[in-house]
Amino acid sequence: MDFQEQFETFDAKTRAALVFRYREELSSAHVAQLVGERPEQVELRLGRALARLRDRGALTRPLGEDELYQWLDKLRDEPGFSSFSLVLAVRRERGRRRRFGRRAS
């Protein structure tokens, strides 16, 4: 599975966190604000995502950050991977969870 296929399997928050942290080079604190999590949660999410990308062969280098920058930059022109689209996807996901939670109550 190539990088883009693997990247697309992540949930909206993980995709957004990867793009904002590595392509846009925002701090973890800023990424946390954008995805609605604490900075510690963002760091854990990013660590798990990087490990998964490496384990599944989407990143070949041990740390993989340079390679990750290159892949994310290649996806820059993909409409679904723009910063705006990712923020919208995170908000939609959050809205679905809220609606589901209300129904379950």
Contact 20, 86 (CB under 8 A): yes
> In whole angstroms, what is the distance from residue 56 CA to residue 27 CA?
26
Average pLDDT over residues 12-26: 92
Taking a C-beta distance cutoff of 8 angstroms, is the pair 18, 90 a contact?
A: no
Q: Which residues contact 81 (CB under 8 A, 6 or more apart)?
A: 15, 19, 72, 75
What's the mean pLDDT in 63-86?
81
Number of structural domains the chain divides into: 1
82 pLDDT higher than 70: yes
Domain span at residue 47 reads: 3-104
Please give the model's pTM, rounded to 2 decimal places.
0.81
CB half-sphere exposure, 18, CA atoms < 13 A: 33
Span 66-91, mean pLDDT?
Answer: 84
Q: What angle do the packed helices 28-35 and 39-55 form, to 10 degrees?
A: 90
Question: What is the DSSP code string of 13-33?
Answer: HHHHHHIIIIIS---HHHHHH
pLDDT exceeds cutoff 80 at 1: no
Position 104 pLDDT exceeds 50: no
Q: What is the rounded average pLDDT of the residues 17-45?
A: 94
pLDDT given at position 9: 93
Average pLDDT of 65-90?
Answer: 83
